Amino acid sequence: MRKKSFLLFVVLCCITILVACVFVACNPDDSSQNTGEDNKETDASAYAGKYYEVVNGELSADSWIELSADWTWEDDDSAMGTFKVDGNKISLYWIVSSEPAFEGTIDENEFTVGMLGADYTFRKGEPTESPSGGEIWH
């Protein structure tokens, strides 16, 4: 009788631990990845502004990404999402994804992100007329 009670106790403990692990792993309320909540120690306004793509040494008026103080971004094609900064690393997320769409490095006036094996640099400043060849990052 004691063996059955002990075995039942062990099985119930295992089930309880398993259920607790599932709840922790599947917490649908954990949206910190998409809202910038991981960035609380960093002020997003330090990065806020419109960044223009550097093409042939000039800032292209046709290709830009705007970072906002509320940890969101939007580009010239009306794509949007959230961003996260960790040290000098920036990750831009699509609005519907928890995986980074673009990753790269950032300082207060410039960031570089990789896409399809190439790096694209964006810088704050006044854009010039669109260079011939137009939008190459899209």
Taking only the tens place, the pLDDT of each residue in 80-95 is 999 999 999 999 999 8
65 pLDDT band, cuts 50/70/90, is very high
43 pLDDT band, cuts 50/70/90, is confident
Class of domain 32-124: mainly beta
| Predicted local distance difference test score (pLDDT) of residue 29 | 43
Of the listed ranges 10-14, 38-42, 68-72, 78-82, the one predicted with least confidence:
38-42
In the 3-class helix/strand/coil scheme, how is 99-130 assigned residue by residue? CEEEEEEECCCEEEEEECCEEEEEEECCCECC
Burial class (CB in 10 A: 0-12, 13-18, 19+), 85: buried
Residue 110 pairs in a beta bridge with: 123
